Amino acid sequence: MALAAPVVLGAAGCGAPAARQDAAATAGAAFASAVAAGDDVRACELLAPQTRAQLEQNERKTCRTAFAAQDLPKTRGVREVEVYGRQAMVRMAGDTLFLSLFTGGWKVVAAGCTPQPDRPYDCLLKGA
């Protein structure tokens, strides 16, 4: 599975207010903490609706059960956050997350993403 960085970065601006970056970083860190703790319920709550639906459809299981079977990397802290409009990329030691801003806050659109030379990111978990 691949996620094109231009999709996330396409709405590029000259930066984002610190509060928006902080909120995206907090959501990314919360997701990483849920993954590390094996808290599949919390991790599913932090997924974007399309990502959650795609996971359930692919695995033909509830999100909680399907998420438990995912082999997402464990991370060690937020290294960098880029926010462009309603999209964010949160780089962590061991993973890159892509997030979108919804009415209820930042949600993870893709996780387990690694950069590929001259190609889009390759993501273990993503929405349609």
Radius of gyration over every alpha carbon of the chain, rounded to an integer in angstroms: 13
Give the domain extent around 34. 2-126
* Domain of residue 31, CATH code: 3.10.450
Instruction: Answer for the pair 80, 71: CB distance below 8 angstroms, yes or no.
Output: no
Interval 47-85: pLDDT, tens: 999 999 999 999 999 999 999 999 999 887 899 999 999
> pLDDT per residue over 79-106, tens digit each?
999 999 999 999 999 899 999 999 999 9
pLDDT digits (tens, 9 = 90+) for 8-50: 333 334 445 889 999 999 999 999 999 999 999 999 999 999 9
* Domain total in the chain: 1
pLDDT for residue 2 is more than 60: no
